[in-house]
Structure 1
Amino acid sequence: MKRGLRYDFDLLALLLIPVGVALNFVGYQLSAALKLPVWIDQVGTCFVSMIAGPWVGMVMALLGNIINGMLIPTAIPFALVAMTNALFVGLFSRFKFFSNIFTTIIACAVVNVATAIPSAIVTTFVFGGVTGSGSDLITAAFLAAGKVLLWSTIQANLVGGTFSVAFNFTIAWLLVRRLPDRFLIKLNYGRPYIKNREALAYA
């Protein structure tokens, strides 16, 4: 099965985009309304990127942040973070990093670091370090310890991001595991998640 930017945007992948956007929308609104220190707005991004690939995931992430930004404008600049998340999750899925617990932990750790940096840059230089979310409390704690603003936001994102990535990925993985094999086998990146391995012999 061919993969890549030219081949990933088939009909099934396109149909997954609104599903991912909806999942992200619900998670983002809950996180913002409850001011949670952990963001649960990347379930859809992880879900789509795992089975449709990084490019479809990045488009979905961008659209999701634009839609969230219609209600909460601060979401739009963080599209860069969501797209980074989609890129790394999609690439790790392509190379079957989510096939066992050890490589899954490595992948999630890399995703956490990769998304913490652009998130900190956006938070610091676009919003002055304050976004009105629960993570501001973590940033304030590092500032009180004498850290500079950028480094404080990076550390805050690494701390909060550890739980965010774990939560978002776990929910997405559970959703993927609920998909039937006959659907997964039709997706460019769905085969690693097929439960009945004998089905691959007839694909």
Structure 2
Amino acid sequence: MDKRNIWSFRFTTASLVLIPVAIGINYLGKLFANILKLPLWLDSIGTILASLLAGPIVGAVSGAVNNIIFGLTADPISFVYAISSVAIGLVAGILAAKGWFDSFGKMLMAGLVIGVSVAIVSTPLNIIFWGGQTGNLWGDALFALLMAQGMPMWLASFLNEITVDLPDKLVTVFVSTIIFRRLPHQLLHMYRHDDKIETL
């Protein structure tokens, strides 16, 4: 995919329909993880799916709007992390355009890259707004342990974040890719940028 196609965003009917669908998937995943107290976020499956279908811009918009809606209706903390969701959509869309979702090994690497990228973006937010914590029970337990050991806050916060983000993004990448590959060919054609994306 060339740069013009990667970054293009037209308000087509397909794109406008995809954004609320992606938001709904994100919202349900987040609620599911919260209810079961999982050591995962599960709030970006729709974002990555949107990036696979329509590119990084649509994915980023889906992720950001999802955080705003979730912040208004369930958890105000989500507002702060809209920028993290934008990063997920952008990175996933770029990697998809470069073929990082077309094999198991590449998907594994994509999940790792997305996880590390989001941890880098989110760690300063955690420190500024929440004293280094993430709000995830499992990650915050690790953070408390590391702080008790005398580790610098920025490092304890980063390890807190990445401990949750890496497994979460690996699961998210695989789930979103499975959904993508099971979509009808006619639907994929609506979002087709080039042959490479169509055959992921």
TM-score w.r.t. the length of structure 1 is 0.87
Match of 1:49 in 2: 51
Name 1:102's counterpart in structure 2: 105
More divergent stretch after superposition (49-58 vs 181-190): 181-190
Letter matched to residue 155 of structure 2: W
Q: Do 2:9 and 2:58's aligned partners in 1 also have CA atoms closer than 8 Å?
A: no
Structure 2's unaligned 5+ residue stretches are: none
With over 3 angstroms needed to count, the CA separation of the structure-2 counterparts of 1:185 and 1:114, relative to structure 1, is same
Task: Pick closer, same or farther for the CA change 1:16–1:24 going to 2, 3 Å.
Answer: same
Report matched runs for 1:155-170 at 5 Å: 155-170=159-174
Aligned-residue CA RMSD (Å)? 2.1
Instruction: Please state whether the residue corresponding to 1:97 is helix, strand or coil.
Output: coil
Corresponding residue for residue 89 of structure 2: 86
1:175 paired residue number = 179
**SS of structure 2 residue aligned to 1:36:** coil
* Paired letter, 1:179: L
- 1:37 partner letter: P
8 Å Cα contact 2:60-2:87 kept in structure 1: yes
Change (3 A) 1:9 1:102: farther
Where do residues 115-130 of structure 1 align in structure 2 (5 Å cutoff)? 115-130=118-133
1:76 corresponds to? 79
Give 5+ residue unaligned stretches, structure 1.
198-203
1:163 partner amino acid: P
Q: In 1, are the aligned partners of 2:122 and 2:161 still within 8 Å (CA)?
A: yes
Amino acid at match of 2:111: C
Structure 1 residue 164 displacement after superposition: 0.2
Structure 2 partner of 1:64: 66
Offset of 1:127 from its aligned partner?
A: 1.4
Q: Which one-letter code corresponds to 1:184 in the other structure?
A: L
Structure 2-normalised TM-score?
A: 0.89
Q: Percent identity?
A: 27
